[in-house]
Each structure stands twice: as structure tokens, then as C-alpha cells.
Structure 1
Amino acid sequence: MTLYATAGAKLYIGSAITLTGDDLTEADFTGETWVEIKQPESLGSIGDTAQELPFDDIGVGRTKRLKGQRSAGTMEVVCGIDYADPGQVALHAAEKADDDFAFRLVFDDAPSGGTPSERLFAAMVGGASEQFDTANNVMKLNASLWVNSNVVRVDAAGA
């Protein structure tokens, strides 16, 4: 078993993307122009979770559970504020829009001579707030990415 650190991962934002209701595929992101969001400290989490639909079956005295709607959650991203970073500027602009945007997360897990794994998804930027805290802290940008699509997993590949 091989484990990987989050260190070295890169997050990118693309352009506004129209969702059709079908699951996205890697091909849906072909031709996208990506802008790296720099100074990340934390990338949060993403991935589908089904809504629980419980049903109390009186006849058998047991609660049965079905799966309902799926949600890929909210990815809470924390970055050190960098006013000149085009990626952070794009995040602020996306927060002002009522659109979903393409996002790409690239991990530092490429085999020698190969390509790294990636996660591709569409999200609405629900928030882009600044956190200042006390004197001995780095000022931070907190972005909430409301993931509105499935998460496309691209596995790392060898040379």
C-alpha cells in the first residue's frame, strides 16, 4: 500500500461551466484554461454522500434505509491572502457570479515519468471571506466551493 501527502497538491479554477444534469466526464473539461489558486493551506474535502431516506417498517420492527439525492458537499479552501494572485482574484470574481465554475485538483503523486492523479468538478463559489485573527497569524482567504456535480477521478498513470 502506498500513501500520499496532501503537500504539493495544486488547485485550479477554470471558466463558468453549464451543467446539463448528466454526470461530468474528463472530456467535459477538455480545452479548459486553468488558473492556479496559490498559497493554499487547506483543501477541505469533496465526494458524494447520499441523503438518507429512512422508513420504519412496523411489520418487521426495523428501520429500512434507502439512498436519496447525492451531494458532493462543500469544499472549504483556505489560502494565505495574495492580492496579486490571479487564481485568488478569479475566486473573488466567481463568488460574485451566479454560475458554476470548473475546478481541477492535481495531486503530487505521479509515478516516475508519469502523470499525477486529478479530481475535476463544477462548483459555485458560495463564499470568499478574509480572516485576519491576531498579530502572529497569516491573513487568510476562506473560500466555500459548493460542489454541484459529480467528482471526476483521474488516476495517476505510469510513463
Structure 2
Amino acid sequence: MAGTDLYPVAGMRFFLGGAKETQAEDFTAADFEDEIWKEVDGFETMGAAGDTAALIATDLINRGRTVKQKGVANAGQMQCNFAILAGDPGQTALIAAGAASNRNNYAVKIVGNDAPATGTDPKPSERLFVALVMGTPEQGGSANTVQMMQATLEINSNIVKVAATSGS
């Protein structure tokens, strides 16, 4: 039965592309085709991402009621944790993107763990978006944890969802 498969988060991958300008219209998968991606190794925890609407609340005196409406969409803030791997080129790029002096948006790709088991060229799903990397501070932990880095991404575009395909 289609659509009933569950996929673990384990096996998903995080990639950082180059600096990318925002645009007035929504991005499509084609806008990311020429991107050169660097995988960021040590992907440990993936944060939430996706559009929510801002609340517009108007207090109407004569009704004694607040009338609520949906406002503009905001894809939010995504926090991802990475085990620190010294010398990893993806982590080096992510740290550079997160420098306080770096004001650029960057292309981001998250590859799913849901490639079909059959087909001539199965491909997993992807999530593509543009984000500011607000910082990459190291975080502490207990004695039995590895050193970690937390990347905070302020998503500055729509999130393009590319479905997994079997290639056939």
C-alpha cells in the first residue's frame, strides 16, 4: 500500500551549498541544480523546519472579541547538531558561513533516507532551501558525550520538497 512506509531519521544527510541570493518568488528544484554541495559530516540531530503563519490579532471593542487571521509565512529557525570532526570540509564551510561577519544566505540540502528499494536509479527525497547560518557555537555535554557544534539556520525561503523516485 503506497504511502504507508515509515523511514528513520538515521541515514539522512546534510549538505551546504554556496552563497545564494534570496528571490521574490518561491524557489524550485531547478534553482538548485547547479549548486556545488559539501556534505557536513557528523550530523547528529536535525531540527524542525517548515512554514508557519504569523498571527494577526485585532481586538474589536464593539465585539469584545479578538479576531485572528493568518499573516505572512515564515519557514522558521532550524537548529542542527553535529559531532565535531576536525578537518571535515563540510564543517569548515558551515563554520565559515556562521561567522558573525558573514551576512550571506546559503543553499542547504537535506537528503532523506527513503530511496525506493526498487527501480533503475532510486533516489531519496530532498529538502532544498536558502538560509542564514546564524552561528555554529560549540556546546557542552556530560562526560560520556562527544564534543558538539550547534548550527542555527534562519530559513529565508520556501522549502522545496523533492519526492523520492525509483528512476523507472
Provide the residue aligned with 1:150 in structure 2.
158
* Aligned match for 1:98, one of 82, 94, 103: 103
Letter in 2 for 1:98: R
Task: Tell me which moved more, 66-75 or 100-109.
Answer: 66-75
Q: Tell me the equivalent position of 1:55.
A: 58
User: Does residue 1:120 correspond to 2:128, yes or no?
Assistant: yes
Q: Distance in 2 between matches of 1:79 and 1:39?
A: 5
State the distance in 2 between where 1:129 and 1:144 align: 9
d(CA) in 2 for partners of 1:128, 1:69: 28
Indicate yes or no: 2:88 matched with 1:85: yes
3-state SS in 2 of match to 1:137? coil
**Number of residue equivalences:** 159
Match among 51, 68, 72 for residue 69 of structure 1:
72
Aligned to 2:144: 136
Distance between the aligned counterparts of 1:110 and 1:136, measured in 2? Answer: 34
- Which SS does the other structure have where 1:33 is aligned? coil
Report deviation, 1:126: 0.3
Selected match of 2:17 from 14, 18, 41: 14
The answer for the alignment partner of 1:107 in structure 2 is 112
Counterpart-to-counterpart distance in 1, 2:64 and 2:107: 46
Greater Cα offset, 121-130 or 51-60: 51-60
User: Counterpart of 1:98 in 2: which secondary structure?
Assistant: coil
Q: CA RMSD in A?
A: 1.3
What letter matches 2:15 in structure 1? Answer: Y
Matched, 1:36 2:44: no
| Alpha-carbon shift at residue 18 of structure 1 (Å) | 0.7
Alpha-carbon distance in 2 for matches of 1:59, 1:130: 53
TM-score normalised to the size of structure 2?
Answer: 0.89
Residues of 1 paired with 2:150 and 2:159: CA distance? 21
Identity of aligned residues (%): 42
Q: Deviations over 1:66-119 (max 9, x none)?
A: 111211111101010011111100011101210000000000101123211110
TM-score with structure 1 length normalisation? 0.94
Q: Distance in 1 between matches of 2:53 and 2:35?
A: 29
Residue 96 of structure 2: SS of its match in structure 1?
A: helix
